[in-house]
Amino acid sequence: MTAEEPIATALIYPIPFLYAPDFTSGASGLPHHVWTNAQPVKTGLIATEPNVFMRSIWVHGSYMKALERNVLLGALELQDEILGPTKGFNPRVLSNNVTVRDPLANLSVLERDTLHVVNGLTNQSWFFHSPLLYWSNDHELIAIDPNILATVNEHKNQHTSLNVTLRHSVVFSGKRFEDRALVAADAIVITLIHLRDSPVGRQWERKVAELATHVTDKWDVYPQDARNLSSQLYEFQFLPISIQDSVMLTLAYCLTFVYVIHNLSKIPAIKSRPGLMVTFVTQIFVSILSSFTVCAILQIDLSRIPRAAYPIVIISMSLENMLRLINAVIATNPEESTSSRIGTAFGETTHIALASVVEHLVLLWGISKLVTTGLSDFCAFLAIAIVFDFFYFSTFFLSVLSVEVRRSELSDFLEKSSSTKRNQRPPGPSMYPDDFVSPQKSISRKTWITAVLQGRIDASTRIAGTIILLGFVIIAQWHFFENESISHTLNRMFTYGIGYGGSRNNLTDWSSASSQLRDLHQARSLTSWLRLQDHETAREVIRVVKPEAHSYIARVYEPLVLVLKGSDRMQSVTERPFLPAVYDFFRHQSTPFLVVILVLTAAMRIFLNYLLWDEMADNSGDVDAPNEPTLSVKTLDQGHALDVALLAASSDGLVVSVGLDRWIRVWNLPRGGVNYPLRKRDALSDDPFPVLLAIDNDSTWLAILSHNNVMLWNLETKEWGLSVAIDLSGQKPEAFFFMPRQRTDLARSLVVVRRNGTLTELWVDTGETLDSPICKTTLLSAVSFQPLHSPATGPSGSGCVAIIAVSQNGCVHRATPTYRGWISEEIKQQTDNEEHAHSVVALPLFSACLVVRPHSVDMVDLATSETLHTFVSHLQIKPRSLRCIFSTRRHSKRSSPRLSYFSLIYTCAESGNCVIQTYLPQDDDGSILFSQDDLSDTSSTDGAPSCMWHETRQTIEEVPNPGLWEALPNGCVIGVRQTSILGQRGGNRSGATGSEAVINRSNILRRRGVNTSTYTRSATSSPRPSQRKPDYSSGRDSWEAWSICSVVDSAKSIIDTAPERSHNGDASAVTRTAATATATSTTNASRDKNYMTHPMAVDEGELLVTELGPIACVGAGTIALGLGAAIKIITIGHERFGSPAEMLEAAAGQMMETSSVANRRRKNRSIQRATVT
């Protein structure tokens, strides 16, 4: 929100310096409560008689030097030559009875003064404007004036005998201002205003014609033939706002206010409506003021329209964008973060708002070509204001709305409406197969007109701004032609629009001398001079010639231009493009201007920090973990009509889903979840349902395995590849994967590991298949295995692909490929364990594997078949549930790998709890030697001490009711469960629900040959500051995501906290010697930063789902989970996608963000996750 504050300040601060009550100081004129205009009257359309006649002479010296003494004295001589002696001009006479006998004879001073309008308005009246009145038309006063510029500026408000002000805009042309004072002028303007039968007007016309021949020795005269000067009818208007106008504007504002309140009341998600109203009004206010500044800089005259009319049009247009954005936020998925919801809503509506802005800009441009000059300037203001309104809407209003959502004022409605809206949303055509028939009954739709009348469609909002804009323009145009009807005004606009349009099209080209005047380089032409006439002057003239009227029509004659001989008319100074007040502002106010911007920006930042202090304190939690990861849930729910049955994912963010509707879709998570269905191939409808999916390491090929066929889909070209037949004999294979090596250049081979103890390698490009035996008995588990090269692992670390399998009788086999096929050999374990193995987990980094038994896990070196260590569990391990996470320290190439921790994560077969069994070195900065190959080197390359497996510290952590979970490469565990069934399965579970789930942690410090003590801590998890409890008002089960943010930090927190409550109080002794004392403590889990929960708002259909669907790991910190027909994407922290090698770096980096303590402890580590069976 602080970004737009300096911009708004920079645009609002200059307003008092750029505007003034009149034009006499080089500033813009402020709008008043009047309609003012000066516009030409089209001849021939309406028979119009002028009220007065305006004749003038323009006296020039050198360029922009009309205020030199010789020019003023010469202008006085010309004035006296035309009007007669004017020294000490005072036209008031005691008697106004005079008769002009000879109309061609020169008038005497008495006759002339008697006809002056100050002696009574008659059809022969006249008066004139001249800057020489500043010196009382006295030659001597001008000659001895020591400072002509000072005299001119002192008398800028001088009144004539008619009480008409001699403003600079009336008596000079081509003015230049500095510091609100006139410093130069290009021409002296002497203007005669007379009525139709005025003898003074006839004398002026006769004298001006004579000047072209009598003064050529001293003056250059343009045009040389001044007998037939061209003329143009002009209407000058000064119409005060009427009672009718006031009532209409008041009614318009009241209706707009009611319209705003009505639309806000229809949005039940908003609780702080006054706050949004204040935000809306502030946005309009700042947009209008910013537009006033730009209009002043660009010299756009805004004084022609009443000031009360400016906000009304902007309000209607801005309201359209505001309501559209709020409705879009309501329609977003409430499971997403606040920034994601705001970003999604803004992305869905910004193109509409931008199109609306462009539409109105084009409309205003077209209108400006059809209306009067005053309205064309008003259209320019509206165009600028619309742009500023869109800017402040995209910054200021968006920020306020984000705070509104973040403070959960929209959350209640979002959670309730999201399900209903998605259920009622009609499916897209690509969601279902052609022959799918929805089981839902079709609902008859109401007509569009009925929906609009009931307020269910915001069509009125979308067109309200345009309607108000057009209506106001028509009414304003009608005001400028008050003697016409509305129909006549419309006819004038659209039939004669070009002739009556803006100033560029409707002003007369004074053609008689235009070609001659081009060489004079006049600073301002007669046309532009008329446009700049002060509106107060028009009001004063109206009061003289038509006291009861609000406008008058004058026939303006082309002026006679006289240039003093010897003058230099070349442009010595170019005309500045901006308003003079702009240059004055930057010359005198630059320093205060910058200081105000900096101070207000800093004050705004401090104020925002003060307002958000409580929220920042609540969110800060632990100062040692500023970068604590967050748990986010997104829903991909527009892909399948029936439940998702199969998922596959790649490390670079591709997810492939198969639904019971028999559609296969590919989702691209890095691109926001865009998806597409695999198009049908000719024989696809005859194939059975897919059994397994596989994606190669390059994310180029997708392999689809059915009971009788293997098909390839190219993920890059989105085309079908070749296929090959296969017979699975009705059994689901144990493994299905791409081989990293290639037999041909066309495609890699695929491997299918069958449960009957055989494997099949097939090449789709040639259709060849090769069957090889692994074991004579049924396989229970199999995993592909590609050891990474490491000298410590011996020759087996050659990078060759292998398959590790466990059979029904408990034997472990390794199958490796050769050029003649696959060779299988049994791994002879050196163990006395009588329990049979039921699954296997690969450790590619160490050329080893984990052989899983019900109560133990053997770590076996595949090169020597040696059992490196046996991990014992007092809980029964559920088959196929074991996962492994660890991290490595830096070590020399010839030494044994070193681990900073090693975690086994599995599901307990008896209780169903998720068990996290972690092994830590003796010292926090120490490491664990993977094998005993190099016992002489007990320290790592960074000097940290090392220990053997039997010397490690062990912690056990249990998560009750884990639901479906997965261990991630970044050292985290994510699961999804139903919260209302806690405490109903297994008597040892807590009865808490939702985010109040209980975590029972058994902290066991083990060392072989030493007594073992158990430290138990029961921690009740309460919602995090950014979390909310799910709504159970529906009485249905609610789905909830949970996570252990860092397995190693969670284990270390157990080590750090358990001994603190021991009986002897010696924490160090307990950690080292594992004393027999037992300590029990209870702590609030809101202090446990490693455990998080997140309620999952779901559709009504998802609430009916009793079991979770398939799960797949995507990237370093994301899982994809099928829940009914939707796919839930659950991410912890900030996800990064990439190749498998890049995921190792991303995982290590993301794990280091969990806490500042962990940053110091896990420096130079890489995080690994074992291959899961």
- pLDDT tens digit sequence for 209-261: 888 788 888 999 888 887 788 888 888 887 777 787 788 888 878 887 787 77
Render pLDDT for 61-85 as a digit per residue (tens, 0 to 9): 999 999 999 999 999 999 999 999 9
Per-residue model confidence (pLDDT) at position 1117: 85
Residues 440-465, mean pLDDT to the nearest whole number: 49
Span of 825-839, 991-1005, 1149-1163 with lowest mean pLDDT = 991-1005
CB atoms within 10 A of CB 1143: 23
**What is the 3-state composition of the chain as percent helix, strand, coil, each rounded to the nearest 5?**
35, 25, 40
- Whether omega for the bond prior to residue 854 falls within 30 degrees of 0, making it cis, is no
pLDDT in tens, 761-796: 998 888 888 999 999 899 999 998 876 544 333 333
pLDDT value, residue 346: 87
The pTM (predicted TM-score) of the whole model is: 0.55
Contacts 24+ apart (CB under 8 A), 574-579: 575/523, 578/297, 578/298, 578/299, 579/18, 579/26, 579/27, 579/28, 579/296, 579/297, 579/298, 579/299
- What is the reported pLDDT for 140? 93
316 in the same domain as 227: no
CB 548 within 8 A of CB 207: no
Pick the closest to residue 709 from 663, 650, 769, 665 (CA basis): 769
Query: How many CB atoms lie under 10 A from the CB of residue 809?
Result: 12
Instruction: Kindly state the average pLDDT of the residues 618-647.
Output: 71
SS3 at position 249: helix
Q: Which 3-state string (H, E, C) describes 283-304?
A: HHHHHHHHHHHHHHHCCCCCCC
| Closest-CA residue to 482 (of 372, 322, 323, 383) | 372
Output the CA torsion sign for 194, 200, 202, 205: negative
For residue 727, being part of any structural domain is answered with: no
pLDDT at 628 over 70: no
Element (H, E) at 403: helix 398-406
SS3 761: strand
DSSP string, 458-470: THHHHHHHHHHHH
Q: Are residues 279 and 205 in the same domain?
A: no
Query: Over 90: is that where the pLDDT of 305 sits?
Result: no
pLDDT for the residue 440: 38
DSSP calls for 140-203: HHHHH-S-HHHHHHHTTT-B-TTS-B--HHHHEES-EEETTEEEE-SEEEEEEEE-TT-HHHHH
* Residue 1116 maps to a domain: no
Distance, in Å, from the CA atom of 895 to the CA atom of 891, rounded to the nearest integer, reads: 7
**87 and 159 inside one domain:** yes
Residues 479 and 553 in one domain: no
Identify whether residues 284 and 156 lie together within a single domain.
no
The band of 1057, judged by pLDDT with boundaries at 50, 70 and 90, is low
Q: Measuring CA to CA, how many Å separate 892 from each of 400, 897, 942, 1055, 1145?
A: 55, 8, 10, 30, 19
In which order are the strands placed within the sheet that holds 973-978? 964-967, 973-978, 1039-1044, 1091-1095
Residues 177 and 290 in one domain: no
Residues 977, 958: Cα–Cα separation, whole Å = 15
Chain centroid to Cα 1161, Å, comes to: 38
Same structural domain, 210 and 86: yes
CA 442, chain centre distance (Å): 38
For 608, residues 6+ apart whose C-beta sits below 8 A from its C-beta are: 1, 2
Residue 121: pLDDT above 50? yes
pLDDT tens-place string over residues 1102-1160: 557 778 889 999 988 899 999 888 899 998 877 767 666 565 554 443 344 333 333 43
Q: 471 or 451: which carries more pLDDT confidence?
A: 471
Regarding whether 225 and 77 lie in a shared domain, the answer is yes
What pLDDT was estimated at residue 8?
Answer: 87
Q: 686-703 burial string, b = 16+ CB within 10 Å, else e? A: ebeebbbbbbbbebbbbb
The phi, psi pair for 1114, rounded to 5°, reads: -125, 115
With CA atoms as reference, report the closest residue to 208 among 525, 567, 565, 559: 559
**10 Å Cβ neighbour count for 1067?**
17
Strand-pairing partners, residue 867, are: 860
Average pLDDT, stretch 946-967? 90
Query: For residues 604 and 399, is the Cβ–Cβ distance under 8 A?
Result: no
- Residue 701 inside a domain? The answer is no
Residue-level length of the chain:
1173
Report the alpha-carbon distance of residue 237 to residue 38 in Å, rounded.
Answer: 6
Strand 231-240, strand 551-557: pairing: antiparallel
pLDDT of residue 965: 93
Both 577 and 601 in one domain: the answer is no
Q: How confident is the model at residue 994 (pLDDT cuts 50, 70, 90)?
A: very low
Residue 786 structure tokens: 């590609």
State which residues form the domain around 315: 266-421+455-499
Query: In 3D, which of 972, 851, 843, 868 has the Cα closest to residue 916?
Result: 972
Closest C-alpha among 406, 385, 614, 370 to residue 493 = 370
Mean pLDDT of the chain: 75
For residues 720 and 723, give the distance between their C-alpha atoms in angstroms, rounded to a whole number. 9
User: Domain for residue 72, yes or no?
Assistant: yes
The widest CA-to-CA distance across the chain, in whole angstroms, is 146
Provide the pLDDT for residue 688: 67
Residues of the chain with pLDDT > 90: what percent?
A: 20
The reply to whether 1088 falls in a domain is no
Q: Please tell me the predicted confidence (pLDDT) of residue 932.
A: 73
Q: Using only C-alpha atoms, what is the Rg of the chain?
A: 45
Helix (H) or strand (E) holding 918: strand 914-920
User: ∠ CA(372), CA(375), CA(377), 5° rounding?
Assistant: 110
> What integer pLDDT is reported at residue 1013 of this predicted model?
30
Tell me whether residue 446 is in a domain. no
Contact indicator for 828, 810 with CB cutoff of 8 Å: no
Residues 6+ apart with CB under 8 A from 739: 748, 749, 750, 751, 761, 801, 817
Higher pLDDT, 597 or 414: 597
Banded model confidence at residue 448, pLDDT cuts 50, 70, 90: very low
CA distance 43 to 553: 12
| Six token digits for residue 557 | 């004659």
DSSP letters of 199-225? Answer: HHHHHHHHHHHHHHHHSTTTEEEESS-
- Asked whether residue 297 falls in the same domain as residue 333, the answer is yes
Per DSSP bridges, beta strands 701-705 and 812-818 are unpaired
Q: Among 585, 602, 629, where does a domain finish?
A: 585
What is the three-class DSSP state of 760? strand
Element (H, E) at 422: helix 411-424
Q: Is residue 438 part of a domain?
A: no
Of the three residues 565, 599, 619, the one that is the final residue of a domain is 619
**Residue 1067: is its pLDDT beyond 60?**
no
In one-letter notation, the amino acid at residue 1071 is: T
Q: Is the pLDDT of residue 1024 over 50?
A: no
Residue 191 in domain: yes
Using one digit for the tens of pLDDT, what is the confidence trace for 123-136? 999 999 999 999 99
Domain count, the chain: 3
Structure confidence at residue 161 as a pLDDT band (50, 70, 90):
confident
Query: Residue 537: CB partners within 8 Å, gap ≥ 6?
Result: 164, 165, 167, 169, 170
**538 or 913, which is more confident:** 913
Rounded Cα–Cα distance for residues 181 and 629 (Å)? 64
Q: Do the Cβ atoms of 1070 and 1002 come closer than 8 Å? A: no
Residue 809 backbone zone (phi > 0: left; psi -120 to 50: alpha; other: beta): alpha
Average pLDDT of 727-741?
85
| pLDDT tens track for 551-578 | 888 899 989 999 999 888 887 666 777 7
Looking at 89-93, 314-318, 334-338, 361-365, which range is the least confident one? Answer: 334-338
Residues 210 and 292 in one domain: no
61 and 205 fall within a common domain: yes
pLDDT band of residue 913 (cuts 50, 70, 90) is very high
> From CA 937, how far away is CA 945, in angstroms rounded?
9
Q: Mind giving me the DSSP string for 83-103?
A: H---TT-----S--------T
Q: Is the pLDDT of residue 16 over 60?
A: yes
What pLDDT, on a 0 to 100 scale, did the predictor assign at position 194?
Answer: 94
- By three-state DSSP, how is residue 380 classified? helix
Least confident of 164-178, 198-212, 434-448, 709-723: 434-448
